[in-house]
Amino acid sequence: MVDKEILLQLKNASVQYGGVHALDDVSLSLDESEVVAVMGPNGAGKSTVLKAIFGMAPLTAGGVYWHEKKINPVPHEVVGLGISFVPQGRRVFSSLTVEENIEIGAYGLSSLAEMRRRRDEVMELFPALKSKKNVPAGVLSGGQQQMLAIARGLMRDPKVLLLDEPSLGLAPKVVKEVFRTIKEINLRHKTAICIVEHNLKSLFEIVDRAYLLDKGKVVYDGDIPTLQKTDLLEKVFLGTV
């Protein structure tokens, strides 16, 4: 069996907001084509992990590594490397059509033909969006807007997709659809995915490994079955670690 390549790493990363340690000596890695979860209670530092990778939360210590080479993450440069970030909140351009929203994700591509090819390929992953490509994004349901945000993040054909709370505010039935699509993206395109998520039941069904954070520190790094045999989840989410 061929070892998978390590695509992305945070090494001994620390981030401070004022005097507060949002991340404290955090290390994690993402291998080629795997799905990794970052979990923890509110304030644990989950979203800061993604922002640090994407250059939106400056590190006070440690570093970000791409293909095992240290980089200075700046958002537009990170996108050029092959990393896309879909922040929480279903951020879409309400007055633009579904198709126009998706095409915005191709910013930086020099070829119009390539943009159209990517758009059509992405549309095939999201049939509900394809059927509404000429509809203003603002009239879509919450689940469809979340799908649209993910679709836009795929337009540069990323090697790594960072997802921050994709199920936030969605009905359980819609959550299942979103997670099914996320796994399909991973399997069909071999896209490595790092996902911050509070819906643990749905999350556990699609991830290969998990990092559990508490107060800015990693308290678990491993597979889901092993984690479920411990009482760490209860301790962390009940605040007794």
Dmax of the chain from CA atoms? 55
Q: Is 80 helix (H, G, I), strand (E, B) or coil?
A: helix
Query: What local confidence, expressed as pLDDT, does residue 71 receive?
Result: 97
Mean pLDDT of 73-79: 93
Q: What is the pLDDT of residues 168-189, one digit of tens each?
A: 888 888 888 899 999 999 999 8
Phi-psi domain of 157 (left: phi exceeds 0; alpha: psi -120 through 50; beta: other): left
CATH of domain 6-238: 3.40.50.300
The pTM of this model reads 0.92
For the segment 106-126, the average pLDDT, to the nearest whole number, is 88
Domain edges within the chain = 6-238
Residue 223's pLDDT is what?
95
**Which whole-number Å values give the CA distances from 203 to 80, 143, 163, 179, 199, in the listed order?**
28, 17, 12, 8, 6
Is 70 exceeded by the pLDDT of residue 241?
no
C-alpha closest to that of 38 among 241, 206, 198: 198
pLDDT for the residue numbered 1: 43
Q: Could you tell me whether strands 6-17 and 61-66 are parallel, antiparallel, or unpaired per DSSP bridges?
A: antiparallel
Q: Which of 37-41, 104-108, 154-158 is least confident? A: 104-108
